[in-house]
Structure 1
Amino acid sequence: MRAALAVLAGGAAWLAAAPAWAHKPSDAQLRLAIDGDTITGRLDVAVRDLDGALGLDADGNGEITWRELSAGAPRITAYLERRLTLGADGAPCVQRLGAPALAELSDGAYWAVPISASCAHRPRSIDVSYALLFDIDSMHRGLLHVAGQTTILRDARPVRIELDETTSAASFVKEGVWHIWIGIDHILFLSCLIVPAVFQRRTRRWAAADSLRDVCREVFEIVTAFTLAHSITLVISAIGLVALPSRWVETAIALSVAAAALNNLLRTIDARWAVAFALGLLHGFGFSSVLIDLGLPSHELIGALLGFNLGVELGQAAIVVALLPVVFWIRRTVAYQALLWAGSATVAIVALLWSYQRYVA
């Protein structure tokens, strides 16, 4: 009992501190194009991120008004000019920021700034020095889109983009792996399905499984069902056949985590693969919002979709490989019971809290 309470208290404290908006890490969009000897484009930075860096909320009421943004515009411009510079072929270009506007993206208001940089000649490569927000948010990403390529900027090191390169699906594979590993709701959803797989129903009662092979077979069915489901909705959403509001999707994903956890406590549905498929459809819409933000190259759409999806599968396979042997090993112990019952209760409570936070955000 003490072990269960310890798991419940510790898990709740840790999970409550996790971000409620698991699918939308802090990111900014930088879209560039070449027009003769000039680099043109637009930088979109979330207003909430600029507030975190510059303290724009003057009255401290938690809402950023246009008046506050207008008052802070000179500081925003100076901040962006210090932290973003463009060059070509190793030489600096003369850079200018245009008049800003507000853009409403899937996760809120963004400060949208036109940018241009005059270079000595038509660039064969673009040099980007991007140092926004990393000092206050280590998880921040700059999403650089240029010439059909998407480059993910995770730190302040300068990058060079060769304009004759083609987009590699490898970058989307990497992003898929990264997303599943930082997506605490995906991890908890999978865990809630995998942890009870080491128990099997035997003549109206549940008992620890004797065969690792049988457990692996059930886990394979669960993971396959989840993969098939989220792949379907990932594709139809990414190509624009279905578009759902991000707030609804994120709220529904949190509720799916709660449902999987509650099913462990109530044992309403024995076929966990069916749970994985039905609720996995929701997770696909969450994956697609990340993929869309990365910028889908129209000339390599299939490669980008396959690459990102492969990355997601590799990421979740790593989670299964890490979790399943441990759970199978402790399946007959008190520690397993504490993990299953107290852990599921903790996840259910926190996921319901997430769903409320996401709905009202």
Structure 2
Amino acid sequence: MSFTQRPSVVFTEGRGSWLQDSQGRRYLDLVQGWAVNTLGHAPETVAQAIAAQAGRLLHVGPGLHNAPAIALAERLTALSGLGRCFLASSGAEANEGAIKLARKFGRKKRGGAHEIITFRNAFHGRTLATMSASGKPGFDTLFAPQVPGFPKATLNDIESVTSLIGPGTVGVMLESIQGEAGVIEAQPEFLRALRRVCSELGLLLIVDEVQTGIGRTGPLFAHQRAGIVPDVMTLGKGLGGGVPIAALLAREEVCCFEPGDQGGTYTGNPLVCAAALAVLDVVTAPGFLSDMSKRAARFREGLDALARREGAPACSGQGLLLALELPQPGRAQRVADALRERAGEGLLVNAVRPERLRLMPALNASEADLSLALQWLDDMLRRVN
């Protein structure tokens, strides 16, 4: 089925920061499956973990325990400080689970409260409930009628949140950085204010770390920059380093699912859990995230220099989730297309908005590859208006 516009090129293999198409042409990839490939294309450590697990056990179903799922849940709860973990197959599925958990909590603990305050321009997935929770323009009519119960506040405006709180409110849900909106950050003081409000009123603070989690922004989870701990957190994308896995984590006191409330055929699949454990082994190794943050800071300095030359604001984002603003209408897509089709080797970037380029390199992208990307981007910005 046709569901999005894609260039005609067909990719056949990749290694690290580089992709190769069916004609043998190479591309430096700063999209990495939309922030999925934490360790780049075909990382050896993940490939070995998958191969070893495939020779032992592929699938047992959600009604039985398996060792990799237990090990992964233990790792994630220890790293997050949240007591329980449900493993899913996609970020949207994890967010759908968070919505269900909050509504069940509201029914059991808050007299039937079910509304979850979310934010304009947010993106939480493509199921009917997560589209309704999202604030992406057009999502409110695309598959109407929408799932009710998601009043919209304005990011970084605490009064816009408190004005929506009423007897039917059970929680607040947001991204630490709104990725699909163009890499718009929730400011640390705003996250801390949300934490205070939710704690004072007994509301759940639900943080969607699907795009920002697993070291993408520097710390393991982006909300850690604000020094807060949410009640519920979701993970996806980078957790599997290229395989489909996600997680819903919550404080012990919040976990109120009963048998039959939640599930999924591939929940805790041992193959993808083995891959996720391999990713975590690398990302949590001593020095990995500090080294990544240093390379990311130098990359950002280069992007900011380009922004100054273009008369644009400094780039937004944290770590290796960054966006460069190109205010001229449609220029971001024109630059992205020209970079992909450049003579010789191509460069892949994402025109996340008509005026914004989003950059999501592998967390282990080399200094040389990031410098080369800056060089090619610099050259193309001079050519394409």
Q: Same fold (TM over 0.5)?
A: no
Q: TM-score range by the shorter chain?
A: under 0.3
TM-score of the two chains, using structure 2 as the length reference? 0.26
TM-score, normalised by the number of residues in structure 1: 0.27
